[in-house]
Amino acid sequence: QGTDLQIYNLQFHTYVTLELSMSNKDSSGGDLCSVDFEIFGYVQGYAERKGLDLGLVGWVKNTSKGTVVGQVQGPRNLVNEMKVWLSKEGSPFCRISRADFKNERKIPKLELFGFSTRF
């Protein structure tokens, strides 16, 4: 029973810390940014899942020329982590030849909700 209480306290502390951290970023807007991207190479899904895992919002779309375009928004440090993942790691079985990022800008609040695939 003591172990269960410790786990609960850890989960509660982590949740409260995350909530306070995100609300401070959202209210000040100082750490939030948005960036557009285009990924070249043999690219498969998973960008949406990675974005959600990082707690970001955005969208992705496959293009007719075989690239993936999208936008990601959130705390700058997490957006930067996503940029590294998009340009160097990617999903299993993908081969990224190039990643272009543009229109990076500071935003006062998130402009999107969730992470979606556009068609």
- Determine how many CB atoms are found less than 10 A away from the CB of residue 109: 11
Average pLDDT over residues 28-37: 81
pLDDT of residue 12: 37
Annotate the chain with three-state secondary structure. Answer: CHHHHHHHHHHHHHHHHHHHHHHHHHHHCCCEEEEEEEEEEECCCCHHHHHHHHCCEEEEEECCCCCEEEEEEEEHHHHHHHHHHHHHHCCCCCEEEEEEEEEEEECCCCCCCCEEECC
Q: Specify which residues 36 forms β-bridges with.
A: 71, 102
pLDDT of residue 81: 96
How many whole angstroms separate alpha carbon 36 and alpha carbon 69? 7
Classified by CATH at the fold level, domain 3-117 comes out as Alpha-Beta Plaits (3.30.70)
**Is the CB of residue 46 less than 8 Å from the CB of residue 91?**
yes
pLDDT single digits (tens) 4-25: 444 444 343 333 323 333 443 4
Tokens matching residue 23? 């609300």
pLDDT of residue 35: 98
Domain boundaries, the chain: 3-117
Query: Which is more confidently placed, 29 or 67?
Result: 67
Query: Which is more confidently placed, 92 or 88?
Result: 88
pLDDT single digits (tens) 43-91: 776 788 889 999 999 999 999 998 999 999 999 999 999 999 999 887 7
Answering whether pTM is above 0.85, one says no
